[in-house]
């Protein structure tokens, strides 16, 4: 460290500002390099696709391209047969990315796909790393709608490849926004659409390891012990406020299973977890909690509180009727949980209470 840095405040501030500018320029340069590389991959994939169709080169075409390009660029490892095939798949997945005209096919599926493309920035597919694209191609090879969904989510949430793979494996595309809700009836647009979009059905709790015949208390303990994964499954924008959150309803104490605040929606979210199938009484209970939070926690800058009820299962007709009868914005979803320990392990595994009691005993 120079003497000038330690003695002159204005100089120190300038040095810090220069370092921040340099880091920003590094980031922009990395994004630019990734953008240019992906555009090249897309264009090479386009050329391979068109040449294959026109000349019928056959399966040896990729090997010939790989060999010839390697001779020209011996230090470049991007032209393997496998990577060249992925470039072709990359183009085939997004052939109209640089030509956003309305589809000739006016079928519902074509229009939905065009809408999915139009909602993304023009250069969206060139903003995420190539490794992410390879993962998306492997999972969504023949489904552009599904692929574009994961491109959008990666951009919105800045997913790492590991997180992307997790959501690809858990079929997020099929689950996102699928909860049964009354949001459209209760909430104004566009809040109702945004609230619907943050829901899932079913929620995937496969990050938990829990015994067979678990009860509600055990499930809530397990979710809190895995709060990072739980927040990841809930989705972007959820901030944890508290578990067994205490509120007063008249002269009675009530404890909310879990209370969150959603930054995107600018509202509190009351989440109740049930290890049984949905019962209409659950909606009434949750509606009371939502009203209580609106009265006691919500400020003028917050949007109306919403409630999410996550049950082991549901009769959708009963759930629909219960939601129609509620004046509060509520959603109902199921959950899936596959990593269960055999019941015989229950006796050999200490409970949370037993562990706490043991730790509180003085050493002998």
Chunked into runs of 10 residues, the chain (364 residues) has average pLDDT values of 68 76 78 90 93 78 92 91 95 79 47 51 86 96 92 90 92 94 94 94 93 91 94 93 93 94 96 96 96 96 97 95 97 89 58 61 56
Residue-level pLDDT at 109: 47
First to last CA, the chain: 53
Class of domain 175-345: alpha beta
> In this structure, are strands 203-204 and 210-211 parallel, antiparallel, or unpaired?
unpaired
Residue-level pLDDT at 19: 81
Structure tokens, 256: 């909310």
Residue-level pLDDT at 358: 63
Residue-level pLDDT at 21: 84
Q: Where are the beta strands (DSSP E) in the chain?
A: 180-181, 203-204, 210-211, 238-249, 252-262, 267-273, 306-311, 330-336, 340-341
- DSSP letters spanning 99-115: --PPPS--SHHHHHHHH
Whole-prediction pTM: 0.74
Q: How far apart are CA 56 and CA 343, in angstroms?
A: 60
The boundaries of every CATH 3.40.1350.10 domain in the chain are: 175-345
Of 223, 225, 301, which is closest to residue 261 (Cα–Cα)? 301
Structure tokens, 350: 């200490």
Residue-level pLDDT at 344: 61
244, 224 contact by CB (below 8 A): no
Give me the residue label for tokens 């030509």. Answer: 99
Of 124, 125, 128, 150, which is closest to residue 139 (Cα–Cα)? 150
Q: How far apart are CA 48 and CA 51, in angstroms?
A: 5
């Amino acid at each position: 460290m120079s003497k000038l840095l330690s003695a002159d405040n204005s100089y120190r501030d300038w040095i810090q500002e220069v370092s921040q500018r340099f880091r920003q320029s590094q980031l922009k340069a990395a994004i630019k390099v990734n953008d240019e590389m992906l555009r090249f991959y897309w264009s090479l994939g386009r050329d391979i696709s068109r040449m294959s169709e026109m000349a019928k080169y056959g399966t040896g075409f990729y090997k010939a391209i790989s060999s010839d390009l390697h001779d020209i660029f011996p230090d470049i490892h991007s032209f393997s047969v496998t990577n060249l095939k992925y470039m072709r798949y990359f183009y085939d997945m997004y052939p109209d990315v640089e030509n956003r005209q309305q589809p000739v096919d006016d079928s519902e599926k074509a229009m939905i796909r065009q809408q999915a493309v139009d909602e993304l920035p023009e250069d969206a597919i060139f903003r995420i790393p190539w490794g992410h694209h390879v993962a998306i191609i492997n999972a969504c090879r023949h489904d552009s709608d599904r692929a574009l969904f994961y491109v959008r989510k990666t951009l919105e949430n800045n997913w790492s490849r590991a997180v992307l793979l997790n959501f690809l494996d858990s079929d997020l595309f099929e689950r996102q926004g699928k909860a049964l809700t009354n949001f459209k009836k209760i909430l104004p647009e566009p809040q109702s659409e945004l609230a619907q979009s943050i829901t899932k059905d079913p929620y995937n709790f496969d990050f938990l390891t829990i015994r067979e015949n678990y009860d509600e208390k055990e499930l809530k303990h397990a979710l809190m012990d895995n709060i990072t994964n739980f927040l990841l499954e809930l989705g972007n924008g959820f901030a944890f406020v508290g578990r067994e959150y205490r509120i007063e309803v008249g002269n009675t104490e009530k404890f909310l299973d879990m209370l969150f605040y959603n930054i995107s929606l600018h509202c509190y979210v009351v989440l109740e977890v049930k290890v049984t199938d949905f019962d209409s009484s659950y909606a009434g209970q949750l509606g009371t909690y939502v009203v209580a939070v609106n009265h006691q926690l919500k400020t003028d800058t917050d949007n109306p509180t919403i409630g999410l009820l996550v049950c082991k299962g549901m009769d959708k007709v009963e759930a629909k009727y219960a939601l129609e009868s509620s004046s509060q914005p509520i959603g109902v979803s199921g959950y899936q949980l596959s990593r269960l320990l055999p019941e015989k392990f229950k006796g050999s595994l200490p409970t949370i209470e037993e562990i706490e009691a043991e730790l509180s005993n003085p050493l002998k």
